[in-house]
Structures are given as structure tokens and as C-alpha cells.
Amino acid sequence: MPFTPFHLGPALFFGLLLFAFIDFPTFLVANVIVDLEPLLVVFLGLDYPLHGFFHSFAGGTIIAIILAFLMFRLNSVTKKAMKFFRLEQEVTLKRVMTASLAGVYFHILLDSPLYPDIKPLYPLELNPFFSSDMAISIYIFMFCIFSLLLGLMIYIIRLSVQAMKKPKS
């Protein structure tokens, strides 16, 4: 996606759906961290593909592993944020690693149909997911927006259910 915020819609929606199985903050970060690559290419004027090695499953795996260990180490910080948003959960290395890999791979899969320069199966120089059909791009962008709205609805419902369960003092 040209703008990382589009990835936050599916990250929020699927992160809340899979809340019991993955580390939510790691999944959110993993869904956007891959776009540091094109950001650096643009801002530093690098002679490098906009969607290079880290938009492949091989490069994404490296990012996901590094991210997982960083997020696991930052657990005390993320716990405070999760408490603020009333999204407390048990943090395990397995959940963090699962969230990191799933988020990065999901990012690559969402971007692959849109950009011909992505080589998701690197070292193979092909993108079997790419489609020059403009409708595919529109569908993916709409999916991202719709996912954000659904994710926000799930979050609001979750807060409402928590409020109803809270004993009144």
C-alpha cells in the first residue's frame, strides 16, 4: 500500500478477531513495519526498489523475527498501552512470534497484487499475485477501509461488553 495507515484496518480487525491467539500490539506493528522500506527509499533517495527485499517472505521473515524479540522485550511498555485501551492479554513469546510473522506476511500478501516490483517469493524474480486490473486495487483499498470500520465496531462492542460485566460499586 502506498500509505501504511491502510494496513491498520485489516490489522485492527483481524487482530481483534484473533485476540486470544496473538499478541495484539505486535500484530498492529507487524502490519505496518514493512513499509519502513519504501519510506526510507523515498526519503533517502535510495537507488533501490520501492518494494525491495523486505517485501518478500524471506526478507519479511527476518523483520518479523527481529520485531518479535523487540516487542517481547518491550512487553512492560505495551502492557501499559493495552491496559489504557482495555485490551489486556497474556503475553507469551509464542503469541508475539505468531503475531509478528502473521502481520508481516499479511502486509506482503496485501501489497503483492498491487505492485509489480514486489517479489514475494524472492529469490524468484516473479510476483504471481500481481494484477494489473485496476479493480483489484480498488477492492483491496475498500477491504482495508471496511476492515477498519469493522475493527472499530468490534472494539466498541468489546468495551461495551466489558462495561456491562463490571460490577457497580
Residues 75-134 pLDDT 10s: 999 999 999 999 999 999 999 999 999 999 999 999 999 999 999 999 999 999 999 999
CA-atom Rg of the chain in angstroms: 17
State residue 166's pLDDT score.
Answer: 77
Residue 70, phi then psi, degrees to nearest 5: -65, -45
Compute how many other C-beta atoms are within 10 angstroms of the C-beta atom of residue 48. 13
The model carries a pTM of: 0.92
Which residues have CB under 8 Å from 84's CB, separation 6+?
none
Q: Which domain holds residue 70?
A: 5-165
Residue 28 pLDDT grade (very low, low, confident, very high; cuts 50, 70, 90) = very high
Query: What b/e readout covers 1-33, taking b as 16+ CB neighbours within 10 angstroms?
Result: beebebbbbbbbbbbbeeeeebbbbbbbbbbbb
The number of distinct structural domains making up the chain is 1
Average pLDDT, rounded, for the chain: 94
